Amino acid sequence: LSISTKLSYYRISKSSFTKEPYLDLVDNCKDRHNLTRLRISAHHLEIERGRYRNVPKENRICSWCKLCLGSDIIENENHLLNECDLYAVNRTITSQKLFTTPQSNITALNNTIHLIPAIMEGGSATVEENAHFFQTLARFITICFNRRKKFNESFNSTCE
């Protein structure tokens, strides 16, 4: 696990081999599934798609950022959660929803990639606060995956 580049994000979001709280706290099956997919890198971001096509890591570029911003930014989990302009509006909405939970349990949305391990470590959050956090985050990930899929379908159909 410590030498695998495939599971680099998983190592950040998982510190012990125990059942994760979000599995019981996220009611929506699709949202729970997408949160799990993001955590274990079983998604369709270029960081993974490129791995299976033997594309060098530095060339696993976000299509949206390349097209709209002219930027060669690697499309990975951090990019999806924190950076990509395609999800900016949804990220802002999610941020507002997350900050309805006491700030003592959420350090900063611009560090979203670190929110998952922070909440999973426990802390002073109640079950209801954790449920709100995980449900909101899982919904955001589902929205991002759906937006990405629609963009890529549209992008690919215009390129053909």
Cα(97)–Cα(105) distance, rounded to whole angstroms? 13
Q: What are the tens digits of pLDDT across the range 65-102? A: 999 999 999 999 989 988 899 999 999 898 888 776 55
**pLDDT of res. 22:** 83
Q: What are the tens digits of pLDDT across the range 132-150? A: 888 998 999 999 999 999 9
Alpha helices in the chain (DSSP H): 8-13, 22-25, 29-39, 46-52, 63-69, 77-78, 88-98, 112-120, 127-159
